[in-house]
Homo-oligomer: A and B are copies of this chain.
Amino acid sequence: MAGRGFMQWAANCRTVRLDVGVATSEIIVLGQTLCTDLSSITPESTVTFHTVVGHEGDITVSVKNESPEGMGKDGGVTKMVAYISVATHSSKIDDKEVNFLFVDKSGDTIGVATLRMTAFYMSLDVDCDRDGVVEKNNPNKGSWQWGPDGHGAILLVNNDCDDYLLEMDPEHKNSKIDGPFDLEDMSRMAVRVRGPETLPEDCRLRMWVRPDDKERLGIFNLSDIEMLDELGNKHIIGPKAGYLAQVSYDLMMVRRDEGETLFAVEGLKYPDKDFNGTLRIHLSLLKNVTVPVFEDTVIFRMAPWIMTPNTLEPIEAFTCQMKKSENLDFINDFKKVVEAAGIKVNIVPPYENRGDRWMQDEIELGYSELPGKKPMPVVLDSPRDRGLQKFPKGKLLGPDFGYVTRYDQNEFVNSLDSFGNLEVSPPVKVDGRTYPMGRILLGSAFPTTKYGRRMMRVVRDFLYAQQVQPPVELFSDWLGVGHIDEFMTFVPAAGGKGFRLLLASPSACYNLLRKLKNDGHGDVLCFEGKTRSGESAERSISDLLDDSNLKAESLQCQNDIDWNRDVMKRELGLDEGDIIDLPQLFQLEDGKGAGAYFPDMVNMIVLGKQLGIPKPFGPMIDGACAFETNVRSLLEPLGLTCHFVNDWDSYHLLLGEVHCGSNTRRKPFDFKWWNMKF
């Protein structure tokens, strides 16, 4: 499809004008062809002409008669046109000369037109084989192709902070190289030129980018500095490169021996709604200071921000400690799950969480990756602005830990902006199309409703623009809090697709309660010893089954969950066999939407095979909670271990659970995003 395509601003076949009796000087770049109309300068009495070429062998001259297509001499105009080129392998870059001798019928030369060429070899080079080598004039350098057989250079958004001791620059907009580690985050680019020692006076060798791109990258000239000793080198092209040099930079070095000048390029912006992720850098040889006579172009693609599903191994877990030991029981249970998983736990203290326990909602932990380098963790900070607001910049951002956020001050933040409402599926295959890094899932209102809550547009735009985990929008606005982690999660599982989708299910809960009643346990109490709003929360199984309001509300929620089930079956290519229903009841609060009636078991933390599940406080049958027994019977055959975490007072009654109150950093995919096929 035609779009706003790339326009090469210098043609590979360039018109030059000669004249009889004159020696014309022109630049020729190896690989380029010069084209000159001889008929317009041929003396009238000419009957034949000869071409005399200096440096035979590496100069090619061909002369053609050109008429309009399909027409002979009668077409009005037939031109005699000469094409001159120098072999690209030519090692001689000295001046080259071609003479056109016009001869009359008596054999006398009645005029000579001379073309003197100053030859250049020029190449702008990048690592488009993704092997760490800046190849020489790779024919693929001007295009970018996805897939294992693809090619194309890659940039990382350099949004970590390698200068943390000197100057905290969380906006990662500085235009300096913050030492060798900062340089590690940048890609290499080279200019290779062979030609006369100095450029002809009116010529320039100019590196440039389109104005739109100057905010998206920064280029450093590495030949210019003693890097490791002297910090403070400036972008030569980039947002802070000074008023004159923002989009272009004139290079000074041309050498007779093939000189190579090395550059470092850093990415500054992720793909987004107005940026498809590809960036072009041009090198032009200009005549008369402004007119391009040759141009070389390389293309980079910005590495996307990638999310990690529950099926990836955990590295570290996060949760918050509240003041006055308020959630100490929770933290003790939580630590046991993390210990079982054998990973590090980070307990964020009260002075850092400032009373905000919803660690899931403030951040999403992902990563970005360059070929041949260690992936860089990058935190996406939600537009949500509560106690934990300063945590991602203040505590996560640092050396090799990047930070990104999206926020639109013209929109109001709502509960669907929290990242409990942002998840990602494991890798899936749908109707022959593979999603090797899964699909992002986020909750929305239906598009049919004008007044529903949705995630902030700029955040959704950002997520869609990353391309490699194409989002699926689910319906979560029916919930009061409105987060998809209130009704779904994924767990790793032996066999099948390697995972199961767990869904909260009122139907499954009623089936279980009915069976327990039929088995004679109707009088057993659920939620024993628990309170809600200062009153006892205890209810017998029969009492729950007889509550027709609760049933009607729960089954309406089942309907909403089933709608999401159907969308996920279609968009993730799932069968019923891939889905497990966990017993759960929901209630509606007037005007506030639905919420879990007892601790919402799908709102679990998944750390490898260790699951930290909200403790449901179900009816005790034969010394065990019947809800826990049911869940164990569904999940333990998959090789999973269920830990039940008491969050009733400290999270459940505040409308959240274990998942809402925690976060997990996971290992990146083994799969490399640039190997994806579209």
Contacts and interface: CB of A to CB of B under 8 A. Distances in A.
Interface of A: 1-5, 7-17, 35, 37, 40-41, 66-71, 74-79, 81, 206, 208, 210-211, 244, 246-248, 282, 284, 286-288, 290-292, 446-450, 461, 464, 467-468, 470, 472-473, 475, 493, 495-497, 500, 507-508, 511, 555-556, 558-560, 562-563, 565-567, 569-571, 575-578, 580-581, 634-635, 637-638, 678
Contacts of A74: 637
A467 B2 contact: yes
B470 A17 contact: no
Given A69-B575, A291-B563, 12 more contacts: A9-B446, A13-B570, A14-B566, A66-B575, A76-B500, A76-B634, A77-B634, A208-B448, A211-B450, A247-B447, A282-B448, A291-B559
A158 to B, nearest CB: 25
A16 B507 CA distance: 11
Given A2-B678, A559-B288, A577-B67, A75 B495 contact: yes
| Interface-centre pick from A4, A500, A556, A638 (highest chain B CB count, 10 A) | A4
A520 to B, nearest CB: 14
Contacts of A1: 467, 678
Given A2-B678, A77-B580, A511-B40, A248 B448 contact: yes
A625 to B, nearest CB: 20
Nearest to A77: B580
Nearest to A452: B290
Contact of A13 (B67, B461, B569): B569
A634 B78 CA distance: 11
Contact of A473 (B7, B67, B638): B7
Contacts of A68: 493, 495-497, 500, 575, 577-578
A560 B4 contact: no
A246 B566 contact: no
A470 B2 contact: yes
Q: Is the interface of A mostly helix, strand, loop or mixed?
A: mixed
A492 to B, nearest CB: 12
A336 to B, nearest CB: 25
A571 B10 CA distance: 11
A432 to B, nearest CB: 15
B448 A15 contact: no
A37 B287 CA distance: 75
A16 B565 CA distance: 11
Contact of A40 (B12, B461, B507): B507
B288 A40 contact: no
Contacts of A247: 447, 450
A305 to B, nearest CB: 15
A450 B558 contact: no
A287 B558 CA distance: 13
A92 B5 CA distance: 54
Contact of A447 (B9, B41, B562, B571): B9
A5 B470 contact: yes
* Chain B CB within 10 Å, residue with most, of A2, A75, A635: A2
A484 B9 CA distance: 16
30 contacts: A1-B678, A2-B468, A4-B464, A7-B473, A10-B566, A14-B562, A14-B566, A15-B563, A35-B576, A40-B507, A40-B508, A40-B581, A68-B493, A68-B578, A69-B575, A76-B500, A76-B635, A76-B637, A78-B577, A208-B447, A208-B448, A211-B447, A247-B447, A248-B448, A282-B447, A287-B559, A288-B559, A290-B446, A291-B559, A292-B448
Which residue among A1, A16, A77, A560 has the maximum number of chain B CB atoms within 10 Å of its CB? Answer: A77
A637 B73 CA distance: 11
A282 to B, nearest CB: 8
Nearest to A555: B17
Given A11-B570, A77-B580, A288-B559, A244 B496 contact: no
A14 B4 CA distance: 41
Q: Which 7 A-B pairs have the closest CB atoms?
A: A68-B496, A11-B566, A66-B577, A76-B637, A15-B562, A66-B576, A2-B470
Contacts of A69: 495-497, 575, 577-578
B12 A570 contact: yes
A71 B17 contact: no
Contacts of A3: 464, 467
Contacts of A565: 15
A69 B1 CA distance: 38
Contacts of A569: 11, 13
Nearest to A5: B470
Contacts of A15: 562-563, 565-566
Contacts of A81: 576
A638 B76 contact: yes
Contacts of A4: 461, 464
B495 A70 contact: yes
Contacts of A511: 40-41
B248 A17 contact: no
Contact of A75 (B5, B9, B282, B577): B577
Contacts of A507: 17, 40
Contact of A577 (B79, B473, B556, B566): B79
B448 A11 contact: no
A462 to B, nearest CB: 11
Nearest to A286: B448
Nearest to A639: B76
Contacts of A290: 446, 448-449
